[in-house]
Amino acid sequence: MSARIGHQANERIVERAHNRPDNRPQNRTNELRPDLARISDWIAPGARILDLGCGDGVLLAHLARTRQVRGYGLEIDPDNVAACIQAGINVIQADIDDGLADFATGAFDYVVMTHALQALVRPDLVLAEMLRVGREVIVTFPNFGHWRVRLALLRGRMPLTPALPSQWYDTDNIHLCTLDDFEALCREFGWSVLERALLDRRHGTGKLIGLAPNLFCENALYKLRRPGA
Amino acid sequence: MSTAVDRGLASSPPNAATAATDSVGVVVPRAIEISQPLLLDCGRSLPQHSLMIETYGTLNAARSNAVLICHALSGDHHAAGFHAADDRKPGWWDSAIGPRKPIDTNQFFVVALNNLGGCRGSTGPTTINPETGQAWGPDFPIITVRDWVRSQALLADQLGIDCWAAVIGGSLGGMQVMQWAIDCPGRLKHALVIASAPRASAQNIAFNEIARQAIISDPDFHEGRYAAVGAKPSRGLKLARMLGHITYLSDDAMRARFGRVLRGGGDGRFAFNYEVEFEVESYLRYQGQSFVDRFDANTYLLMTKAIDYFDPAREYGDDLAAAFAHAQAKFLVIAFDADWRFSPERSREIVNALVVANRDVSYAVIDSPLGHDDFLMPLPEYQAVLRGYLQRVAGELAA
């Protein structure tokens, strides 16, 4: 029955939530992580937002506080859901891989997803759904074109890097891509890239990234819009 | 009172009413007389009515910490604590209500009532119709969820509560919570809807109809006037309750709990008769029989009909989001993944409508061992969500 399949999927995604490369749940008293700070710069005040895989709700809480943003997080891990609820953040317990059919077209100004794209069963379909539900989409992912990854493969081994710390057999990252792969997908579907921020491991921008982005960017942030939106 | 000595000697646990520090202890129900006339959805009206209530905790000076508990099909005002020190069982939601429990009576003034039409002391089929001097029986008007909310609002007036900190209910209780948020938007800050649905499905109505037919077709039903002739439609009511209990448990839960185990151990051979043979048959018969001893058949009919009629979207062009558009409360919706009576998909319909209506809502799906029955159970994940949410509600009171 579908219930059983759903349950297995849940376990997988729960695992993913715990193993995110940047381990999103973090101490709320800390400064906002630099990539999240950058995302919030991309969001207009007072917007309506859907945050896919919202973790403990740190981004939504920050946006609500600083930009009067109203929104909801989608999250699958029960501990994160409980943390959001206790913090007064609107959270809906759901599996992103089940799609966004529960949300109407154009229901949100922004749909955001940080560091979950590569763990989805069909990232292309989820991106298309995000662009249906949101006027604009903000998505982040680790760049598989980074030189450390290439070097590992040249040596004949799957990469183990700071951005991709899990072994090939137990990683939750099943659909990794390079910057060029991602932009090719955007071109193929006609999604326009409104903004992009290419960051290193410490979420900084360096000269090298400017020279050869697909070699030196470790953490990519994109803001997309669908044609005609 | 139990002492340390007899606690130590007792083979059974010390009596829970006095031993447990997280219990509200012994509570005394009281009747609240509502003297304002109540116009009902069916077109009839009640010039006055009486509601049995229990309260736990203390109403603060600002009268802002009151929480209303709405009961489900067979519930009543006895939600927590004990009526006597030697009671074997506490109130029906004692797992969640008490000092330091998720619905913390150290923080909240909790009000539980027996709904209008009930059979535990509130005005209903078993009470006297002042016009005839006889019990109402089948002449008692059919009550809707909206009628209950009107009656509960009159109760709130009587208790001096302008605005509930939260209204909380599971199953049919959750339906009352939604109706509160829609009909009295300014009178509740938070709406907690647990294991519920935005309207009864055809399958829900079908089960209810079989339950009603079981009661109505019992030869002892006497068109609802069984009490007048000293009869009771026990077989019908028992069947109705047995049917209900099937829907309260998931297939997996039934398999885990009873499997195909034969009763009495025996030699494992079939008896080739129609006596109780499988454990699950024994369970259902026990549940049915114990229900007959404490519940009224006319009330059961009325309660199932209230579920069937509940459909707040109906007067908003079948648009649930439009129904919620005027709601002001913040919502917490909780579902249980093995619940098939009111499945998580039904809760998600509520959540989706609230999102469209731009209301604040959070939604948790609890990993559920039993099914629908789990809304009454002290599951750690469930209690963490309930507790976390209500701690925040309590924090707002202090702010």
| Selected residue with higher pLDDT from A31 and A75 | A75
Q: Which chain A residues are within 8 Å of B366, Cβ to Cβ?
A: 78
Query: Minimal Cα–Cα distance from B69 to chain A, Å?
Result: 20
pLDDT at B268: 81
Q: Could you tell me if B325 lies within 8 Å of chain A, comparing CB atoms?
A: no
User: What's the whole-number mean pLDDT along residues A192-205?
Assistant: 89
In this prediction the ipTM stands at 0.91
Residue-wise pLDDT for B35-62, tens only, equals 999 999 999 999 999 999 999 999 999 9
| d(C-alpha B169, C-alpha A190), whole Å | 48
DSSP B372: G
The candidate with the shortest Cα–Cα distance to B248, out of B175, B318, B341, is B341
Say if residues A35 and A66 touch (Cβ distance below 8 Å). Answer: no
| Selected residue with higher pLDDT from A207 and B255 | B255
pLDDT at A31: 64
Q: Which regions in chain B score pLDDT beneath 70? A: 1-20, 265-266, 399
Say if residues B241 and B288 touch (Cβ distance below 8 Å). Answer: yes
User: What DSSP letter does each residue of A83-117 carry, written as one string?
Assistant: HHHHHT--EEE--GGG-STTS-TT-EEEEEEES-G
CATH of domain A2-20+32-225: 3.40.50.150
| d(C-alpha B280, C-alpha B253), whole Å | 11
Largest CA distance in chain B: 68
Q: Could you tell me if A81 lies within 8 Å of chain B, comparing CB atoms?
A: yes
Known catalytic residue at B222: no
A219 pLDDT higher than 80 = yes
| d(C-alpha A48, C-alpha A32), whole Å | 20
What single letter denotes the amino acid at residue A81? V
Known catalytic residue at B372: yes
User: What's the whole-number mean pLDDT along residues A32-43?
Assistant: 88
Residue B361 and residue A92: Cβ atoms within 8 Å?
yes
| d(C-alpha B394, C-alpha A49), whole Å | 27
| d(C-alpha A127, C-alpha A139), whole Å | 9
| Selected residue with higher pLDDT from A205 and A81 | A81
Contacts of B173 (CB under 8 A, 6+ apart): B69, B70, B71, B72, B75, B194, B196
A194 pLDDT higher than 90 = yes
pLDDT at A229: 65
| d(C-alpha B98, C-alpha B57), whole Å | 8
Residue-wise pLDDT for A134-190, tens only, equals 999 999 999 999 999 999 999 999 999 888 899 999 999 999 999 999 999 999 999
Query: B339, B343, B373, B374: which is the annotated catalytic residue?
Result: B339
Residue B13 main-chain phi, psi, to 5 deg: -60, 155
User: What DSSP letter does each residue of chain A carry, written as one string?
Assistant: -HHHHHHHHHHHHHHHHHH-TT-----TTSPPPHHHHHHHHTS-TT-EEEEET-TTSHHHHHHHHHH--EEEEEE--HHHHHHHHHHT--EEE--GGG-STTS-TT-EEEEEEES-GGGSS-HHHHHHHHHHHEEEEEEEEEBTTSHHHHHHHHTTS----SSS-S-TTT-S--S-B-HHHHHHHHHHHT-EEEEEEEE-TTS---HHHHH-HHHH-SEEEEEEE-TT-
Q: From A104, which residue of chain B is nearest by alpha-carbon distance?
A: B356
Q: Could you tell me if B358 lies within 8 Å of chain A, comparing CB atoms?
A: yes
pLDDT at A74: 98
Round to the nearest angstrom and report the end-to-end CA distance of chain A: 39
Using the structure block, give the residue that is written with the tokens 């990252």.
A173
Q: Which of the residue ranges A17-21, A121-125, B90-94, B307-311 would you say has the lowest mean pLDDT?
A: A17-21
User: Domain locations in chain A?
Assistant: 2-20+32-225
A24 pLDDT higher than 70 = no
Q: Which of the residue ranges A27-36, A39-48, B307-316, B375-384 would you say has the lowest mean pLDDT?
A: A27-36
Using the structure block, give the residue that is written with the tokens 């081994």.
A157
CB nearest to A78's CB, from B338, B362, B381: B381
CA distances (Å), origin B132, targets B128, B135, B204, B222: 8, 8, 35, 19
* Residue B133 CB coordination number (10 Å): 7
- All domains in chain B, ordered by first residue: 17-199+312-399 (3.40.50.1820), 200-309 (1.10.1740.110)
Contacts of B203 (CB under 8 A, 6+ apart): none
Q: Which chain B residues are within 8 Å of A71, Cβ to Cβ?
A: none
- Best of A79, A93, A108, A109 to disrupt the B interface (most B CBs within 10 Å) is A93
Q: What percentage of residues in chain A have a pLDDT greater than 70?
A: 86
